[in-house]
Amino acid sequence: MAKKKEILRGAEIFCRALKDEGVKHLFGYPGGAVLHIYDALYKQDAIEHVLVRHEQGATHAADGYARATGRPGVVLVTSGPGATNAVTGIATAYLDSIPLIVFTGQVATHMIGNDAFQEVDSMGITRPCVKHNFLVKDVKDLAATIKKAFYVATSGRPGPVVIDIPKDITADSCEYDYPQEIELRSYRPVVKGHPGQIKKAAKLLLSAKKPMIYSGGGVVLSEASNELTEFSQLLGYPVTNTLMGLGAYPATDKQFVGMLGMHGTYEANMGMHHCDLLIAIGARFDDRVTGDLEKFCPYAKIIQIDIDPSSIAKNVPVDVPIVGDVRYVLSDLISILKNGKGKPDIKALEDWWKQIYDWKKLDCLKFDRTTDVIKPQYVVEKLWELTKGDAYVTSDVGQHQMWAAQFYPFDKPRRWINSGGLGTMGFGLPAAMGVKLAFPDETVACISGEASLVMCIQELSTCLQYNTPIKILSLNNRYMGMVRQWQEFFYSSRYSHSYMEALPDFVKMAESYGHVGMRIEKSSDVEGAIKEALELKERTVLMDFVTDQTENVYPMIAAGKGHHEMHLSTDANRELA
């Protein structure tokens, strides 16, 4: 006998569908258009609602949660200003291909288009920064739409999906029937790679004399770290990761040559410039990575694996394109390499590694360790040591972000959580909060800058309310350091509006939010402070490190330059270059 279906109101369908999707946390902020939903949330306990202090914080927290767990982050905001406040976070997730489901309240169906109170065209505003969006016009479509949204957000190349729900829909009722599966005739992502192309790639790989493996965020998104590691170690080729790919290959392994691109290592970038074969794995040839396209990898044949055909050959022509999920394609490549007769050219590879070690001797990340002024790099290095390289680290945007990427070698995926594509200041703190909610027993640190940190500082309240003890390391250089660096290099040190005047007392600020604040001014105090903060397991701690104001991020490839034209620090062993 068929089970009798329940009749539910739209607001209840919302709660039930999330429960049926296995959602545990919902990041949100109430308002008129979503009050029916808030009332339904009040009456259930399957989903914990996390009340943020600004809708941007909700999207970043859900985003951090998604990046750390691999499961989609879920957000609920009201119409109008609630929706517009969420847009920055939606765009942040979009550029880094992070699965989010964002529910925006909307004015009642019959009011749409009427300039009603708190009405904005949320569909129109979010359309260019979502993978897809839906307007629900009938309560009967609500459950299926939620199912579709989860499917679209998490499959193929992931991304944020917005569901706009008019208020009357949340009051209307219908039978609740949550579909087990859903199929969309217009959306069928390819997973398996083309066998012929994969064979071609294997052959090309084995014929290389100076190969480079360039892998990116796609490996993290695909949960393909094990496959990437096995594949790379079978071949013995050097591996470089993009900013988004860090952790996908163990950074402390000897085959890892560091991050590439604008602030990548000398050896990674020189390797790119001189290689004769490049295999791009879930990486999208971003302009921060390629530098001047005219000068990009001039000697290399290129293989590219990506699940999104539009990422392939978008910026750089590709010799062997493979559309598919990297996890599947790498598995296929691994079995060809294991079972085939071909072997890498050991002699050529030896010479190539010798060359790479020579580049490495330059020690491009070297910094001055003799001063008692706090060097920002040193703080990150100490954090790495004291957390045994095993913390979840979120970051904001600026110099501190680059130092975090350079000086905290990640050995596991999903540990490094930052906004790479949009470069959104304000991301770090709410993202850390989201990660801590997902993993309450893990150490979660946020490496930030004094300018970025205040962009979402209000979330310190949320950290208190939901007991998410995170450790914030603010590398306070009293400058928008990254802006200052560009002004120093390219605008003859005219520091136009990049100096942070009238900074708050960060210690008092942390305390006023109910947390612990520390101010650290000497290099010799760094280690003790971080230790103390880590020991305060139950408390959120804000460490205000007063760092060297003039420190720059090196190496640096300026706009319009090639990988072999890096700007190096005065500390590096330049004569080797």
Partner 1 sequence: MRHILSLLMENEAGALSRVSGLFSARAFNIESLIVAPTEDSTVSRMTVVTSGSDAIIEQITKQLNKLVDVIKVVDLNEFRHIERELMLIKLIAQNECRDEAKRMVDIFRGRIIDVTENTYTIEMTGTSEKLDAFIESLDNSMILEVVRSGVSGLSRGDKATQS
Ligand X SMILES: Cc1cc2nc3c(=O)[nH]c(=O)nc-3n(C[C@H](O)[C@H](O)[C@H](O)COP(=O)(O)OP(=O)(O)OC[C@H]3O[C@@H](n4cnc5c(N)ncnc54)[C@H](O)[C@@H]3O)c2cc1C
Q: Write down the least CB distance from residue 286 to ligand TPP, Å.
A: 15
Q: Write down the least CB distance from residue 503 to ligand TPP, Å.
A: 10
**Among 34, 480, 546, 557, contact with ligand TPP (rule: CB under 6 A):** 480
Q: Which amino acid is at 74?
A: V
475 forms part of the interface with ligand TPP (CB under 6 A): yes
Q: Write down the least CB distance from residue 269 to ligand X, Å.
A: 9
**Among 482, 530, 543, 546, contact with ligand TPP (rule: CB under 6 A):** 482
**Among 56, 78, 88, 97, contact with ligand X (rule: CB under 6 A):** 97
8 A C-beta contact, residue 485 and residue 493:
no
146 forms part of the interface with ligand X (CB under 6 A): no
**Residue whose CB is less far from ligand TPP, 30 or 428:** 428
**Among 126, 304, 477, 569, contact with Mg ion (rule: CB under 5 A):** 477
**Whole-angstrom Cα distance, residue 298 to residue 291?**
12
Question: What residues between 389 and 418 interact with ligand X by CB under 6 A?
Answer: 397, 401
Answer yes or no: 167 catalytic: yes
**Whole-angstrom Cα distance, residue 466 to residue 444?**
15
Per-residue x/- mask for partner 1, residues 130 to 149, rule CB under 8 A?
Answer: -xx--x--------------
67 forms part of the interface with ligand X (CB under 6 A): no
Lookup: tokens for 167: 């208020």
The entry of partner 1, Mg ion, ligand X, none near residue 517 (CB within 5 to 8 angstroms by kind) is none
- Write down the catalytic residue from 212, 262, 425, 482: 482
Q: Which stretch binds ligand TPP (CB under 6 A): 46-54, 248-256, 385-393, 474-482?
A: 474-482
The entry of Mg ion, partner 1, ligand TPP, none near residue 486 (CB within 5 to 8 angstroms by kind) is none
Question: What residues between 314 and 373 interact with partner 1 by CB under 8 A?
Answer: 314
- For 69, residues 6+ apart whose C-beta sits below 8 A from its C-beta are 414, 438, 439
- Write down the catalytic residue from 131, 167, 375, 471: 167
Task: Using alpha carbons, list the distances in angstroms from residue 549 to 365, 399, 480, 493, 523.
Answer: 18, 11, 10, 13, 14
The entry of partner 1, ligand X, Mg ion, none near residue 222 (CB within 5 to 8 angstroms by kind) is ligand X
The entry of Mg ion, ligand TPP, ligand X, none near residue 435 (CB within 5 to 8 angstroms by kind) is none
The alpha carbon of residue 102 and the mean position of all alpha carbons in its chain are separated, in whole angstroms, by: 18
**Residue whose CB is less far from Mg ion, 449 or 517:** 449
Any idea what DSSP says for residue 311? G
Answer yes or no: 21 catalytic: no
How many residues touch partner 1 under the rule CB under 8 A: the total is 17
The entry of partner 1, Mg ion, ligand X, none near residue 477 (CB within 5 to 8 angstroms by kind) is Mg ion
Beta-strand (E) ranges in 185-276? Answer: 211-215, 239-241, 256-259
**Among 92, 170, 399, 540, contact with ligand TPP (rule: CB under 6 A):** 399
For residue 541, the surrounding DSSP H or E stretch is strand 541-546
**Among 449, 469, 517, 562, contact with Mg ion (rule: CB under 5 A):** 449
**Whole-angstrom Cα distance, residue 103 to residue 9?**
16
- For 491, residues 6+ apart whose C-beta sits below 8 A from its C-beta are none
- Write down the catalytic residue from 24, 111, 118, 412: 118
Crossing angle between the packed helical segments 326-339 and 195-206, to the nearest 10 degrees = 60
SS (H, E, C) 498-538: CECCCCCCHHHHHHHCCCEEEEECCHHHHHHHHHHHHHCCC
Answer yes or no: 3 catalytic: no
**Among 10, 193, 481, 517, contact with ligand TPP (rule: CB under 6 A):** 481
First to last CA, the chain: 78
Residues in the chain: 577
Question: What residues between 267 and 306 interact with ligand X by CB under 6 A?
Answer: 282-284, 286, 288-289, 306
264 forms part of the interface with ligand X (CB under 6 A): yes
Identify whether 555 is preceded by a cis peptide bond (ω within 30 of 0). Answer: yes
SS (H, E, C) 170-189: HHCEEECCCCCCCCECCECC
Q: Which stretch binds partner 1 (CB under 8 A): 85-93, 128-136, 201-209, 528-536?
A: 128-136
Question: What residues between 422 and 461 interact with ligand TPP by CB under 6 A?
Answer: 423-425, 449-452
Answer yes or no: 480 catalytic: no
72 forms part of the interface with ligand X (CB under 6 A): no
**Whole-angstrom Cα distance, residue 105 to residue 83?**
8
398 forms part of the interface with ligand TPP (CB under 6 A): yes
Answer yes or no: 56 catalytic: no
DSSP 146-170: HHHHHHHHHSSS--EEEEEEEHHHH
SS (H, E, C) 75-117: EEECCCHHHHHHHHHHHHHHHCCCCEEEEEEECCHHHCCCCCC
The entry of Mg ion, ligand X, partner 1, none near residue 325 (CB within 5 to 8 angstroms by kind) is ligand X
How many C-beta atoms surround the C-beta of residue 297 within 10 A?
24
Judging by beta carbons within 10 Å of its beta carbon (0-12, 13-18, 19+), is residue 524 exposed, middle or buried? exposed
User: What are the residues facing 447 on neighbouring strands?
Assistant: 395, 473
**Residue whose CB is less far from partner 1, 128 or 196:** 128
Residues that bind partner 1 (CB under 8 A): 123-124, 127-128, 131-132, 135, 152, 184-187, 308-310, 313-314
What amino acid positions are annotated as catalytic residues? 55, 117-118, 167, 482
- For ligand X, the binding residues (CB under 6 A) are 96-97, 157, 216-218, 221-222, 242-245, 259-264, 282-284, 286, 288-289, 306-308, 311, 325-326, 397, 401, 420-421, 423, 482
Return residues touching ligand TPP (CB under 6 A): 396-400, 423-425, 449-452, 475, 477, 479-483
